Amino acid sequence: MTSASKSPWILHYNASSCNGCDIEILAALTPVYDVERFGIINTGNPAHTDIFLVTGGVNEQNKVVLKNLYDQIPEPKVVVAVGICASSGGVFRDCYNISGGVDTIIPVDVYVPGCSVRPEALIEGIVKALGILEQKRAAMEERK
Amino acid sequence: MTGKQTIIPFGPQHPVLPEPIHLDLVVEDERVISAIPSIGYVHRGLESLVDRREYQDFVYLAERICGICSFTHSSTFCQGIEGMMGIEVPPRATYLRTMWGEYSRIHSHLLWLGLFADSLGFESLFYNAWKIRESILNELEATTGGRVIQGVCKVGGVRRDVTPQFLSEMDDRLDGIEDEMKELTNVFLNDYTLKKRLVGKGVLSKEDAYILGAAGPTARGSGLDIDIRSTGYLAYGDVGFKPVVEKDGDGYARCAVRCKELFQSVEIIRRVMTDMPSGDVSVPVKGNPDGEYFSRSEQPRGEVVHYLKGNGTKYLTQFRVRTPTLTNVPALVSIIGGCELADVPQIVLTIDPCIGCMER
């Protein structure tokens, strides 16, 4: 285990979400759930990011922003689709502007269910993402 | 000597913004000359689904217009359908809706106070605000089953009732929450650093607030006495209501309005609890809506208007929402002009933008 997979830094982007999942991501960082005690920090900078949390079903205008952010994150990186909208489009799937899930734009590693997602589920998703992050790092080491 | 004009992009992804909005800031040296907003990053086209979802199912979608003001959106939509169909909602249901609406307001204002502290880098204050917010979410979860999306409103009333025992215990818990909020708002209103970043920043005059159509705490911070709760919808007429108004129109006044509304909401919840009528919490609904209706409510961010039109089938033909953030954006653009570049994040936050609501 390296320090990054013990204390990953996360980047959060709202790709056409209703806010419900976004405020639960922040709630997971604040005192009651408090993932910051493990050194998990919500960074605003893609270049510092290990885990990318995306909420919402991704609309036309967001596609480019989401792709840009993904490209700016250094390898190894893990993408977590937070909530049902990010996973499949959810209740907004039939809307004319919604592409139907984050995985239509960028590769997703972990899907967290819920509308809105509960902080407990989100934390479990991040823990799953840590395992994947470690695997990706090991694979990178091997290639060297 | 002044430099050339430069355009600095602000957003859509920015550390102080939990949601994407984009502003092109035209700056000359450190001074912002004007701001050009561009929106559409959260637009889902939710209103168009109204002709494909039955009106009773659409309550769920109305609730998901925004995850912060979720309860108010669902109750406003239900209010509209009930108005159109002439359904008499049991008094206990209107009292419960008032109670949950006020809980949502407290949770939204605490959320804003936290985010604002975070934008200044005042992390411990952010954490304290969100710690108190969790106690409010616990109350919401205990009574409705959901933390941020409650799903408790339905056409004709509400889905869940509260027990008298729960109500009596709630009073004690509210005392604790109120004490914690007193400590918190004391920091927001009297701390030297926070005052430095708020007093005199982003001044919106009363005339401008009126002409630009500001709503909610943004309007009330500028001395406009606009609050839909004064019209006495739901149980507000019974429990009595007087809006919180501040005169200065700067960031501090808007912050003070929200701080004072926290205690006002606690007071309303107390009165609702004591006067809670007994009886059913919902009535059966038969038939389909026909006609049109404007439904208005006071959200944490200001007045929200739902326009509904039905044609006697189970699908509405038209649904339109006007949310407070959209009407506050012209005010925001006007107050950003002439400010220091370093103050932009704080000024943007003082109108409490909720992009999820704004773009739907």
Report pLDDT digits (tens) over A28-40.
888 888 888 888 8
Q: How far is B1 from chain A (nearest CA, A)?
A: 34
Instruction: Tell me the pairing of strands A41-42 and A9-14.
Output: parallel
Which domain, by its residues, includes B10? 1-43
The answer to whether position B352 is within a domain reads no
pLDDT of residue A79: 92
Q: What does pLDDT average to over chain B?
A: 86
B252 lies in the same domain as B277? yes
Does the residue B344 lie in any domain?
A: no
**pLDDT tens digit sequence for A65-112:** 888 889 989 888 899 999 888 888 888 888 888 888 888 889 999 999
pLDDT tens for residues B1-30?
456 888 888 877 776 677 777 888 888 888
Cis preceding-peptide flag for B12 (omega within 30 of 0): yes
The C-alpha atoms of residue A91 and residue A88 are separated, in whole angstroms, by 9
CATH label of the domain that carries residue B114: 1.10.645.10
- Chain A partners within 8 Å of B18 (Cβ): 12, 14, 19, 22-23, 26
Please report residues of A whose CB lies closer than 8 A to that of B148.
Answer: 20, 23-24, 116
In terms of domains, do B159 and B31 share one? no
CA-based R_g, chain A, Å:
14
Query: For residue B203, what pLDDT is reported?
Result: 87
Q: What is the pTM of this model?
A: 0.88
Which chain A residue has its CA at the smallest distance from B47's CA? A95
Distance CA B194, CA B201 (A): 11
Predicted confidence (pLDDT) at residue B99 exceeds the cutoff of 60:
yes
A23 and B148 within 8 Å at the Cβ level: the answer is: yes
Is A2 part of any domain?
Answer: no
Please give the DSSP secondary-structure letter assigned to residue A56.
Answer: S
Contacts of B175 (CB under 8 A, 6+ apart): none
Question: Are residue B317 and residue B216 in the same domain, yes or no?
Answer: yes
A17 contacts on B by Cβ (under 8 Å) = 42, 67, 356
Over range B69-74, report the average pLDDT.
88
Whether A16 maps to a domain, the answer reads yes
Number of domains in chain A: 1
Question: Of A76, A56, A80, whose CA–CA distance to A128 is shortest?
Answer: A80
Q: How many domains does chain B have?
A: 2
Instruction: Write the CATH number for A130.
Output: 3.40.50.12280
On whether residue B306 sits in a domain, the answer given is yes
B86, B4: one domain: no
- Judge whether B66 lies within some domain: yes
Model pLDDT, residue A91: 86
Of A78, A76, A52, nearest to A66 by C-alpha is A52
Please report, rounded to a whole number, the percentage of residues in chain A having pLDDT higher than 90: 7
| pLDDT for position B23 | 82
- Which of A13, A19, A63 best tests the B interface by mutation, with the highest count of B CBs <10 A? A19
A113: buried, middle or exposed (CB in 10 Å: 19+, 13-18, 0-12)?
A: middle
Residue in A closest to B134 by C-alpha:
A32
pLDDT in the model for residue A60: 84
Same domain, yes or no: B18 and B137: no
For residue A135, being part of any structural domain is answered with yes
User: Looking at the structure, do residues B2 and B106 belong to the same domain, yes or no?
Assistant: no
Asked if B52 and B13 sit in the same domain, the reply is no
Neighbours of B312 (CB within 10 A): 10
Domain that holds residue A52: 7-143
Does residue A2 carry a pLDDT above 70?
A: no
**Statement to judge: residues B61 and B19 lie in one domain:** no
Do both B229 and B290 map to the same domain? yes
B67 lies in the same domain as B214: yes
State mean pLDDT over B171-190.
88
Q: What integer pLDDT is reported at residue A1 of this predicted model?
A: 56
> Tens of pLDDT along B235-253?
888 888 888 888 888 888 9
The arithmetic mean of pLDDT across residues B270-295, rounded, is: 86
Is residue A34 assigned to a domain? yes
B16 and B151 in a single domain? The answer is no
Q: Clarify whether residues B254 and B298 are in a common domain.
A: yes
Q: What is the mean pLDDT of chain A?
A: 85
* Whether B131 contacts chain A with CB within 8 A: yes
Do the chains contact at B356 and A18, CB–CB below 8 Å? yes
Q: What is the pLDDT of residue B170?
A: 82
